Structure 1
């Protein structure tokens, strides 16, 4: 089965043999044995190409998920035999860790004392980069996330949005603002490879009534953006938790009446899911079940 699936991926006997560290003869012999068991050819083979037959394609579609499940089950058995021991690095974006995360980490550590949990901040300009390069195993990030290689888990925080302005800005004297007010001053753009849809959800390019938002100040980190706000170089819609994490005397936070809430979820690389990640998700779900999330 492993030889068949590898050949279906590679479509080349030589590459399949190299990948599995077998001889080409062993790959051919194994495939012939499987075809005799099935009772039909699984690949059309010529001197120029190798392509699955209809039977081979059907077998691949049915077998690949089951084989992946076998691999995960084996990895789980090894990990749990070791008490899910190791290191779990959790990335977070700005103030996205929220009040629930320390409770989740405490619950996880209680059940898995052999696992070390580390926290690492990621940047506004590249919210998914640390996840993809393996710097972090899990990511607490603002939604939306619509990446084909990433899995979005439970929402751990949902909170209203505020408008961050310099303390001497005219908006600072108001009880609230509306999304259309974003068009009345300069805002920020991402410096880095952040997906456009993700950045548009944090700081929209247009207001609900269609007014253009001037996103003219680039910012790579939340710290950088808040420093620019404090110096009067722009305004920025931010989640309410930023008010506590960045309580600058030079910055005022004004509620935005008509802004949608900002949700934070756990995200991980689908192909890199491990027993440690699943154990942390279990701890998160249990904590969510017994705790009322902050809103």
Structure 2
């Protein structure tokens, strides 16, 4: 059974006239009649009653017409869907991100993308950098917003989305709140809340090295696995903490933020995607991401 036979049958069934159906299909009447006849022979069912005066559908023909039109409509929808996907008008984008990215302009970028592309479904996954990289390489993510520090990025393209300095989160009422800014050397002996080394071991070593260069080792009294948890611990008065500058947008009582100077690495969030991924939807998303990137 061929698609053209189905189209010929639909035309005859709707026109109930072989001549008009042939004109509609831009084909001569004899070959159209032959194709419809072959379709009936292949099915082993009479679909049309033919006389010298009229053409009528049999009960089987009426049911087959209904089913054929459904197949045609579904095929047309599939063609339009695939064409829209090729144009980046419809489809899916899977976005991974680390928790701190939610404090950057990534949410605004996502909102802008959705407003411009309402027919594209976005799926989100909040995970660590270490968890996202294999998902990206395994084609289970299309783009990942991560924090790189010594990670293997071979086979991946990158876009620096955010670069900003560290600031010091200080408990309310602490003497540091009376100062406009602080230097890393001011933290000698000060109780500190730090992130857990297992999450970013290379970065952890780098920050410890910055304290060492300043002439002392940090007094770490507590560790946590997210920036939000670290800030919450600062609010309890447990100690101060180094956090990215975007953390200032967190409206949490009991915490004051102060600029921090010293030989510290910059806080960065990078967008990664596979070099082989040529998706039009991904390129559209990257265009929007470039509009909202913050690199200081």
| TM-score between both structures, scaled by the size of structure 2 | 0.57
Structure 1 residues 151, 182: closer, same or farther in 2, change over 3 A? farther
User: 1:87, CA displacement in angstroms?
Assistant: 3.7
> 1:248 aligned to 2:252?
yes
Q: 2:234 aligns to what?
A: 229
Q: 1:92 aligns to what?
A: 98
Structure 1 residues 106, 227: closer, same or farther in 2, change over 3 A? closer
Counterpart Cα distance in 2 of 1:132 and 1:113: 29
Counterpart Cα distance in 2 of 1:206 and 1:222: 19
Gaps in structure 2 of 5+ consecutive residues: 1-81
User: 1:240, CA displacement in angstroms?
Assistant: 1.5
Taking the TM superposition and a 5 Å limit, the aligned residue runs for 1:129-144 are 129-133=131-135, 136-144=141-149
User: 1:144, CA displacement in angstroms?
Assistant: 3.4
CA contact (8 A) 1:96 1:140 kept: no
Aligned counterpart for 1:209 among listed residues 190, 202, 214: 214
Aligned counterpart for 1:187 among listed residues 192, 196, 213: 192
Larger displacement relative to structure 2 (132-141 or 162-171): 132-141
Counterpart Cα distance in 1 of 2:198 and 2:83: 38
Q: 1:159 aligns to what?
A: 164
Q: 2:201 aligns to what?
A: 196
| TM-score between both structures, scaled by the size of structure 1 | 0.58
Structure 1 residues 266, 148: closer, same or farther in 2, change over 3 A? closer
Counterpart Cα distance in 1 of 2:272 and 2:174: 36
Q: 2:12 aligns to what?
A: none
Gaps in structure 1 of 5+ consecutive residues: 1-75
Secondary structure (helix, strand or coil) at the match of 1:223 reads helix
Counterpart Cα distance in 1 of 2:145 and 2:227: 15
Q: Number of aligned pairs?
A: 209
User: 1:141, CA displacement in angstroms?
Assistant: 3.1
Counterpart Cα distance in 1 of 2:85 and 2:232: 44
Q: 1:127 aligns to what?
A: 129
Secondary structure (helix, strand or coil) at the match of 2:98 reads strand
Structure 1 residues 78, 215: closer, same or farther in 2, change over 3 A? farther
Counterpart Cα distance in 1 of 2:214 and 2:202: 19
Secondary structure (helix, strand or coil) at the match of 2:177 reads helix
Q: Which has the larger radius of gyration?
A: 2
User: 1:155, CA displacement in angstroms?
Assistant: 1.8
Taking the TM superposition and a 5 Å limit, the aligned residue runs for 1:67-78 are none
Counterpart Cα distance in 2 of 1:193 and 1:209: 24
Q: 1:257 aligns to what?
A: 261
